[in-house]
C-alpha cells in the first residue's frame, strides 16, 4: 500500500519556537510525517535558512511541501501582476526546493469575466514559462495548481487535471475541502470523493495516486463558496468518507491539514487513516 503522510499547514501551534526548524521537530514529536512551508504572504526564508530546514527535515524523516503566496493571478489584465505572480511562484518553488520540499502549490487565477477556456489557455501559457524557468535553474519540484473553493476562481478538478496532462512537471493539488465548498456542500459523500480519485487515475494514471498533494480541513461555505477554515468537528465536511476513499484507492503522498487547530486535526485525520487502514 502506498504511504500516505499527514501533517500541518505551517508550524504547529505547540512548537517551542515559531520557526520552520522547530515546527519540523514538533511534527516529528507528534508522530506526524509532513509539514507545509507556508509562504502565503511572501517568501521570506533565505537560502541559508532553507538549507538548514532541509537538514532538519531529512534527519527527522519529515517530508516537506510548500505553498506559494496567495497573491497570484495568472489571468490578470495587468501585465505587471502577471509578471509578479510568476516571480512569486518561481521564488516559492526555488526556496521550497532548497528546503527539501517535493511539491509547491498555489491558487492559479481568477476567471473575472473571461470564458473559462480562455482562462485555461492563459494559465497554461504562463505555467509553461514558469516550468521552463525552473528547468533552466535545475529546480526539481512538482508544480501543483490547487483546486479552489469558489466558483469565481480558476481551479476545478477537471481544469487542474487537464493542465497536468498537457504540461510535464505539473500535477494537481487536490483540496477536498474546496471541492466541498465549491459544490456548496453537495459533494460530501464517499461516492463523490471517490469520483475524483477515479478521475485522477483515469487521466493521469495510477502512479499519480501514489504521489498526491492533498489539502483537508474543516471549512465553512456560503453562496459564493469558501468562507473560512474551521475545526473538523465544527464543519459539515465528511472527512471520514474522504479518508476511507484515500485508503480504498491506496493513495500515497501528503495530506496537509489547514484547520485552525492544525496539529489536533492533523492527528485526528492520521488516527482515522490508521483506523481504516487496519481493516484492509
pLDDT tens per residue across span 63-120: 999 999 999 999 999 999 999 999 999 999 999 999 999 999 999 999 999 999 999 9
The whole-number pLDDT of residue 2 equals: 65
The whole-number pLDDT of residue 74 equals: 98
Sorted by where each starts, the structural domains of the chain and their CATH numbers stand as 4-278 (3.20.20.150)
Phi, psi of 253 (to 5 degrees): 120, -135
Reported pTM: 0.96
Smallest CA-to-CA distance from 260 within 10, 6, 71 is with 10
Percentage of the chain lying above the pLDDT 70 cut: 99
Cell of 70: 496567495
Quick: pLDDT tens for 189-247.
999 999 999 999 999 999 999 999 999 999 999 988 999 999 999 999 999 999 999 99
CA angle 47, 68, 229 (to 5 degrees): 130
Average pLDDT across the chain, whole number? 96
In sequence order, what E strands does the chain have? 4-9, 34-38, 63-67, 101-106, 109-110, 142-145, 153-154, 173-175, 212-216, 218-222, 225-230, 253-257
| Confidence band, pLDDT 50/70/90 cuts, at residue 129 | very high
SS3 114: coil
Quick: pLDDT tens for 3-29.
899 999 999 999 999 999 999 999 999
Amino acid at each position: 500500500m502506498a504511504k500516505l503522510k499527514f501533517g500541518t499547514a505551517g508550524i504547529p501551534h505547540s512548537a517551542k519556537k515559531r520557526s520552520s526548524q522547530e515546527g519540523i521537530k514538533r511534527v516529528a514529536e507528534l508522530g506526524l510525517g509532513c509539514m507545509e512551508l507556508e509562504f502565503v504572504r511572501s517568501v521570506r526564508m533565505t537560502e541559508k535558512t532553507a538549507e538548514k530546514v532541509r537538514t532538519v527535515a531529512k534527519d527527522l524523516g519529515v517530508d516537506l511541501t510548500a505553498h506559494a503566496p496567495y497573491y497570484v493571478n495568472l489571468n490578470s489584465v495587468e501585465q505587471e501582476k502577471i509578471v509578479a505572480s510568476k516571480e512569486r511562484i518561481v521564488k516559492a518553488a526555488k526556496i521550497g526546493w532548497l528546503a527539501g520540499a517535493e511539491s509547491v502549490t498555489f491558487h492559479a487565477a481568477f476567471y473575472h469575466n473571461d470564458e473559462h477556456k480562455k482562462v485555461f489557455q492563459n494559465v497554461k501559457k504562463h505555467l509553461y514559462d514558469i516550468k521552463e524557468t525552473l528547468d533552466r535553474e535545475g529546480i526539481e519540484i512538482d508544480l501543483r495548481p490547487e483546486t479552489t473553493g469558489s466558483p469565481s476562481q480558476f481551479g476545478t478538478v477537471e481544469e487542474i487535471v487537464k493542465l497536468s496532462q498537457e504540461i510535464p512537471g505539473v500535477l494537481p493539488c487536490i483540496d477536498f475541502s474546496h471541492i466541498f465548498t465549491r459544490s456548496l456542500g453537495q459533494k460530501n459523500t464517499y461516492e463523490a470523493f471517490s469520483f475524483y480519485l477515479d478521475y485522477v487515475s483515469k487521466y493521469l494514471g495510477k502512479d499519480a495516486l501514489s504521489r498526491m498533494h492533498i489539502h483537508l480541513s474543516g471549512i465553512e461555505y456560503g453562496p459564493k463558496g469558501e468562507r473560512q477554515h474551521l475545526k473538523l468537528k465544527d464543519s459539515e465536511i465528511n472527512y471520514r468518507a474522504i479518508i476511507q476513499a484515500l485508503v480504498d484507492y491506496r493513495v500515497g503522498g501528503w495530506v496537509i491539514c489547514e484547520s485552525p487547530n492544525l496539529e489536533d486535526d492533523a492527528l485526528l485525520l492520521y488516527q482515522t487513516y490508521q483506523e481504516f487502514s487496519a481493516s484492509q
